[in-house]
């Protein structure tokens, strides 16, 4: 379970992000998944200031911190993971697919360490060039999002906002916010007795309609039962079906 | 395993998407994860035409089809799943978190059914209002992305492009493209013999440096060995460390 405290030790670091709307999209994804700490490494403050003034600027964006370099941005982090597109460069780091990297980050965040040193940073490079070798040298390992190998390489890496959303989703999925399957009232599966009542009624309808006489091979009651079971009937739907079948039966006996 | 053929039976349907750049972002995410079939349900063709003329319009966008209504857009699909933000409306459909919905879709896609009837459609509503009750009535079940319950509800649902990216990632993750952990050459763990050589050398260095005399309690060879083991040494790093230690030793004996 990734607690709120654990998520608050997780830091997204955008390095040389150029497009203000991408920075805004990242902040929004963080907000959606309950992460708060955004750090921006930019030589020039222009894109960050533009993002902050956008209409949908969130609390995440307002609280974001600007750093002059990666070293300063990750100084209080004990696990630093960089993101990269596969095949982008010669590997000098371990490269793990997102699910494995997320597991490592969660394990690290779950450690009940003292103070700030238990922070985890996830680095995203600029939209055009990714992370430089110097920037990657601060990383313990690299993360890549499993993608289709593209015949054309026009998009060697994902859109920045989407990449962040996918990474945070994976943290939440593994870590994460418990969320049980919710079924509407009455959609629990029908009991065997109800199913059997429906089988008997359908069988009767098929008999009256002459179906069983014309198709003796595939209209035995066993076959009808398997047919009804395969419907995966919800409890709430049984009265509806029974009403229909009764109406059919009544109609057939009137002829 | 979600084959290319299976992915080609998967259809993303955008219903009343208003923002052309969102439609473009969806097409890009589909391209990244290797999905091809985008359908757009729009009363007015304006946003779709604007998206198609955007600079980064992909092959997915160029091949997208426009439909006048949801019924037509999903006519050849045998499993239709709608996306919704939690608590958006009264539930009349089963609501499954994304991982469960993705499993159901993959199971359906994996069926080696004949012809077009095995298609699966995933519906996304407009950015403002989501899917209407009429549009939801075509769905077998609903999918929701597990998110943080927000104190402020300014963003009741995710950004459209991010939501599609997260859903497709989950399909690929579960279905998906095999992607092993890749380690750089030489990063396999160092063998015990190499570790031991390093322990002995470090021990010698500590002795020569006078460290063991000053800290007898925590400089026994066992302690040094545990220290080195905790480094999790990679094979390729051993010669580097050994070289450093030898240099230290030489330097210490010169005094």
Helices B20-33, B160-175: inter-axial angle, 10-degree rounding: 10
Number of helices (H), then strands (E), in chain A: 12, 7
Tokens representing A148 are 């289709």
**Sheet of strand B119-124: strand arrangement:** B65-67, B37-41, B10-15, B119-124, B77-83, B141-144, B95-97
Mean pLDDT score across all residues of chain B: 81
Beta carbons of A235 and A186 less than 8 angstroms apart: yes
B176 contact A CB<8A: yes
Chain B environment of A31 (Cβ under 8 Å): 148, 150, 155
Q: How many CB atoms lie within 10 A of CB B191?
A: 12
How far apart CA A52 and CA A61 sit, in angstroms, is: 6
B29 touches chain A (CB under 8 A): yes
**CA end-to-end distance (rounded Å), chain B:** 65
Looking at the predicted structure, is the pLDDT value of residue B113 above 60?
no
Q: What interface predicted TM-score (ipTM) does this complex get?
A: 0.76
Give the mean pLDDT of B161-173: 95
Q: Residue A172: its pLDDT value, please?
A: 92
CA A19 to chain CA centroid, nearest Å? 25
- Which residue numbers in chain A have pLDDT < 70? 1, 46, 53-57, 86-91, 111-117, 149-156, 176-189, 255
User: How far apart are the C-alpha atoms of B15 and B17, rounded to whole Å?
Assistant: 6
Which residues are within 8 A (CB) of B123 and not within 5 positions of it... i.e. 6 or more apart? B13, B15, B70, B74, B80, B81, B82, B83, B131, B135, B138, B139
pLDDT of residue B143: 93
Q: Which of A240-244, B25-29, B134-138 has maximum average pLDDT?
A: B25-29
Q: CA–CA separation, B138 vs B73, rounded Å?
A: 10
Q: Decide: A53 and A163 in contact? Cβ < 8 Å.
A: no
3-state secondary structure of B141: strand
pLDDT of residue A187: 63
**What share of chain B in percent tops pLDDT 90?**
25
On whether the CB atoms of residues B141 and B104 are closer than 8 A, the answer is yes
Q: What is the pLDDT of residues A85-114, one digit of tens each?
A: 765 555 677 888 999 999 999 988 876 555
A-facing residues of B in 58-117 (CB < 8 A) are 58, 91-100
Nearest to A172 among B32, B146, B152 (CB): B146
Place of tokens 């497709």: B168
């Amino acid at each position: 379970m990734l607690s709120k405290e654990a998520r608050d030790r997780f830091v997204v670091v955008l390095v040389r992000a150029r497009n203000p709307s991408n920075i805004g999209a990242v902040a929004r994804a963080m907000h959606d998944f309950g992460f708060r700490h955004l750090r921006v490494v930019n030589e020039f403050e222009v894109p960050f200031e533009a993002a902050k003034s956008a209409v949908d600027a969130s609390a995440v964006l307002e609280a974001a911190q600007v750093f002059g370099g990666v070293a300063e941005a990750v100084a209080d982090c004990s696990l630093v993971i960089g993101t990269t597109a596969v095949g982008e460069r010669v590997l000098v780091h371990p490269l793990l697919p997102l699910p494995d990297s997320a597991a490592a980050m969660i394990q690290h965040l779950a450690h009940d360490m003292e103070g700030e040193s238990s922070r985890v940073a996830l680095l995203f490079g600029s939209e055009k060039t990714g992370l430089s070798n110097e920037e990657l040298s601060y990383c313990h390992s690299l993360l890549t999002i499993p993608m289709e190998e593209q015949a054309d390489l026009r998009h060697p890496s994902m859109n920045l906002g989407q990449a962040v959303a996918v990474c945070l989703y994976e943290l939440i999925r593994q870590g994460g916010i418990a969320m049980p399957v919710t079924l509407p009232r009455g959609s629990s599966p029908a009991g065997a007795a109800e199913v059997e009542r429906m089988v008997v009624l359908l069988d009767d309808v098929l008999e009256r309609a002459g179906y069983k006489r014309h198709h003796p091979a595939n209209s035995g009651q066993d076959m009808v039962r398997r047919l009804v079971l395969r419907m995966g009937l919800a409890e709430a739907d049984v009265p509806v079906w029974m009403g229909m079948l009764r109406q059919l039966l009544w109609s057939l006996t009137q002829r």
